[in-house]
């Protein structure tokens, strides 16, 4: 089985197929609808062979796909038939959960994705729980996604944003009693000094998680004893 992994971000869409070493990418944004995504992915993936697709989606996901529209993309994701559009079986997971799945290395791990907004997931005992920590209040008129995302970095400046990111990471690790925190996303490299118990993820974590969705993972609604991983939300 050959797998195509598609990681949808607020700024870029990245894709990689089994047996390939160099990802391909294109810009995303507020005009990116699911139909447009499929067409552009198929164009970018020309020459690659794949039997199934793993899709990392920047929003809440249920057993049948997206259950809420994304904040930074076009509309029409809820109820979209990805299997029919791609002409292949597609498994959809929250993008933060997919990155956490790919970067997990044991214990109770909290994942924080620092990008356009804030992605988050908790991993323990081979269960990945998608979180929406970006919705937590961070001030009178601010939530964590505003403070730690693109708008927060522009408002606070580089030094202020780094301080806020580190302080929040330490606090969230304590709140979730996490053994470790994995920092991912496009702005992870900006944190040059990481506190104890916090590590930076690799660029290929999302792809590794996408491959695992098909190689090891059983669908979210299947909670039987034979599953290897389970993703909730």
Q: How far apart are CA 97 and CA 36, in angstroms?
A: 24
Degrees, nearest 5: CA angle 110-115-119: 35
Structure-token pair, residue 160: 């202020």
pLDDT in the model for residue 11: 84
Are 51 and 124 contained in the same domain? no
Are 44 and 116 contained in the same domain? no
CATH number of the domain bearing residue 90: 3.30.420.40
Are 149 and 110 contained in the same domain? yes
Mean pLDDT for all residues in the chain? 92
Q: Dihedral of the CA atoms 95, 176, 104, 107 (nearest 10)?
A: -160
Q: Is 99 helix (H, G, I), strand (E, B) or coil?
A: helix
Note down the domain range covering 50: 3-97+205-232
Q: How far apart are CA 81 and CA 151, in angstroms?
A: 33
pLDDT tens digits along 83-113: 999 999 999 999 999 999 999 999 999 999 9
Helix (H) or strand (E) holding 231: strand 230-232
Are 77 and 143 contained in the same domain? no
Are 142 and 84 contained in the same domain? no
Sole residue written with tokens 């552009």: 40
pLDDT for 9 beyond 90 = no
Are 182 and 212 contained in the same domain? no
pLDDT tens digits along 206-221: 999 999 999 886 555 5
Mean pLDDT computed over 24-52: 97
């Amino acid at each position: 089985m050959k797998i195509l992994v598609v990681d949808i971000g607020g700024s870029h869409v990245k894709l990689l197929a089994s047996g390939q070493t160099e990802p391909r990418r294109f810009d995303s944004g507020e005009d990116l609808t699911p139909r447009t995504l499929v067409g552009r992915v198929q164009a970018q993936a020309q020459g690659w062979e794949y039997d199934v697709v793993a899709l990392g989606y920047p929003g809440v996901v249920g057993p049948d796909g997206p259950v809420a529209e994304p904040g930074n993309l076009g509309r029409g994701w809820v109820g979209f038939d990805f299997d029919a559009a791609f002409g292949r079986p597609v498994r959809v997971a929250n993008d933060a959960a997919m990155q956490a799945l790919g970067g997990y290395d044991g214990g109770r791990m909290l994942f924080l994705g620092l990008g356009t907004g804030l992605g988050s997931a908790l991993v323990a005992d081979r269960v990945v729980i998608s979180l929406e920590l970006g919705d937590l209040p961070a001030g009178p008129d601010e939530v964590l996604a505003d403070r730690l995302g693109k708008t927060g970095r522009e408002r606070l400046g580089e030094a202020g944003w780094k301080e806020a990111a580190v302080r929040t990471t330490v606090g969230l690790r304590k709140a979730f009693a996490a053994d470790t925190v994995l920092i991912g996303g496009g702005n992870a490299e900006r944190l040059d000094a990481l506190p104890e118990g916090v590590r930076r993820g690799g660029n290929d974590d999302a792809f590794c998680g996408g491959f695992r969705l098909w190689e090891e993972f059983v669908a979210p609604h299947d909670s039987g004893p034979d599953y290897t991983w389970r993703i909730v939300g």
